[in-house]
């Protein structure tokens, strides 16, 4: 009788679990998203977007935050490899340091998808990026235009406020920006890093440089939250919106607010939603180790190009320059209007 009762209870428990978690029953598997930090609005929103889109296509997303620590992300990768998930999505804290972890995961048969922070030194199964160097290119194009409008030619003094100098992300933007600005000898660029991406450090740099170089025409900051501190310093020095031009990157809500108020002219956005949607669109093919065909794909309406590079399939989604003319478009993640339509996997 006792045995019968135990069997019945056991069966009920299994049935209950099955009824209570239908998603688990239908899940195609778990995909881990290794986010580099949550102290940044882009990353925070990327978690919501990736989790939502992965659920749309039938996967169970789990996010692990590396708190901007390379060693922690390496440990997390080792742990996750042991759990044998369907795939890993990696936004690396340090592009090169994570290379052995990617190789280890792939050797264990776990596909690795790279999100946002491109890794070209080792093969991966799929990469979804706007391109950090390309963000620098877009910013340079806009800065050329702004300087020409202000000074009649592409000339003037630009203060470039980087993020943490140990972060390859900011160094890539700097590389792209300075490369595109090289043909313009009339542009003097002063580059200084805001240690640890901390806003008050950026404010301090701007305050000091406004005194040392009062003829600064334009400030280019590598993240929108740094632009807020830059504006606070401009305001404290008695500047009005437009007195010193301001360009920022990543497209965070704070940057858009500054454009609306007239303090900032351009925000170079990373197409966060499209980058995240692309991961979900290609997840089935990557998990099932199917071939990805190069070509143009529509990702949330954006024409994106998939190429097969030496490091694997690479989908590049165009970043956009946000100005006061197009600021209200819902596609910009800074407007915080995440797409509600479910994602359809690539056939």
Partner 1 sequence: MLSKDRRALIEFVLDNLVWLMLVIVLAVFSLTIPQFFQIGIFANIVEQSTFVGVMAIGLGIVIIAGNMDLSVESVAALTAMVTGILFCSQGIGLGYTLTPEWLVLPVSLIIALAVGALIGATNGWLVVKLKMNAFIVTLAAYIWVRGLVVAISGGRSAQDLAPSVRFMAIETVAYIPLIAWLAIACFALFTFIMAKTPFGRHVTMIGGSPVAPFRAGIKVDRLIFITFVVAGAVSGVAGWLLAIRTSGATANLGVGMLFNAFAAVVIGGVSLKGGIGQLPGVYAGVLLLSSIHTAINLMGLPAHYTQMILGALVLAAVLIDTLKLQVRQRLA
Per CB under 8 A, residues contacting partner 1 are 38-41, 43-44, 165, 190-193, 195-201, 203-205, 207-209, 211-213, 225, 228-229, 231-232, 235-236, 252-254, 257
Between 67 and 153, name the residue whose CB sits nearer to partner 1. 67
Report the alpha-carbon distance of residue 327 to residue 266 in Å, rounded.
10
Q: Output the smallest distance, CB 271 to partner 1, in A.
A: 19
Report the alpha-carbon distance of residue 270 to residue 255 in Å, rounded.
12
In 3D, which of 316, 261, 327, 284 has the Cα closest to residue 116?
316
Q: Output the smallest distance, CB 306 to partner 1, in A.
A: 30
Q: Output the smallest distance, CB 169 to partner 1, in A.
A: 14
Report the alpha-carbon distance of residue 34 to residue 65 in Å, rounded.
6
Q: Output the smallest distance, CB 183 to partner 1, in A.
A: 22
Residue 309 DSSP label: E
Q: Output the smallest distance, CB 215 to partner 1, in A.
A: 12
Between 205 and 292, name the residue whose CB sits nearer to partner 1. 205
Cα-Cα-Cα-Cα torsion 320, 99, 104, 128, nearest 10 degrees, comes to 10
Between 262 and 342, name the residue whose CB sits nearer to partner 1. 262
Between 272 and 299, name the residue whose CB sits nearer to partner 1. 272
Query: In 3-state terms, what secondary structure has residue 35?
Result: strand
In 3D, which of 54, 34, 192 has the Cα closest to residue 119?
34
Between 160 and 314, name the residue whose CB sits nearer to partner 1. 160
Report the alpha-carbon distance of residue 12 to residue 2 in Å, rounded.
15
């Amino acid at each position: 009788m006792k045995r019968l009762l135990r069997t019945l209870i056991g069966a009920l428990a299994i049935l209950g679990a099955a009824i209570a978690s239908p998603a688990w029953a239908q899940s195609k598997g778990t995909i881990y998203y290794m986010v580099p930090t949550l102290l940044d609005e882009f990353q925070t929103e990327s978690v919501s977007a990736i989790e939502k889109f992965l659920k749309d296509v039938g996967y169970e997303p789990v996010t692990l935050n590396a708190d901007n620590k390379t060693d922690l992300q390496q440990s997390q990768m080792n742990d996750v490899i042991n759990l044998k998930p369907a795939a890993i999505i990696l936004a690396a804290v340090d592009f090169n340091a994570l290379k052995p972890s990617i190789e280890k995961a792939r050797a264990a048969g776990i596909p690795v998808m790279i999100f946002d922070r491109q890794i070209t030194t080792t093969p991966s199964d799929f990469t979804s990026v706007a391109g950090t160097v390309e963000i620098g290119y877009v910013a340079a194009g806009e800065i050329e235009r702004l300087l020409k409008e202000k000074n009649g030619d592409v000339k003037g003094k630009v203060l470039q406020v980087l993020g943490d100098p140990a972060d390859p992300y900011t160094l890539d933007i700097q590389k792209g920006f300075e490369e595109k600005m090289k043909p313009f000898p009339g542009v003097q660029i002063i580059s200084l890093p805001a240690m640890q991406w901390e806003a008050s450090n950026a404010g301090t740099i701007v305050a000091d440089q406004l005194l040392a170089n009062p003829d600064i025409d334009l400030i280019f900051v590598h993240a929108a939250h740094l632009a807020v501190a830059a504006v606070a310093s401009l305001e404290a020095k008695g500047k009005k919106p437009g007195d010193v031009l301001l360009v920022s990157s990543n497209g965070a809500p704070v940057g858009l607010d500054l454009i609306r108020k007239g303090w900032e002219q351009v925000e170079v956005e990373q197409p966060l939603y499209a980058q995240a949607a692309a991961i979900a669109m290609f997840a089935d093919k990557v998990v099932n180790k199917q071939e990805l065909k190069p070509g143009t794909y529509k990702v949330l309406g954006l024409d994106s190009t998939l190429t097969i590079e030496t490091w694997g399939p690479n989908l590049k989604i165009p970043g956009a320059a946000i100005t006061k003319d197009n600021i209200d478009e819902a596609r910009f993640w800074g407007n915080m209007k995440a797409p509600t339509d479910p994602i359809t996997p690539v056939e």
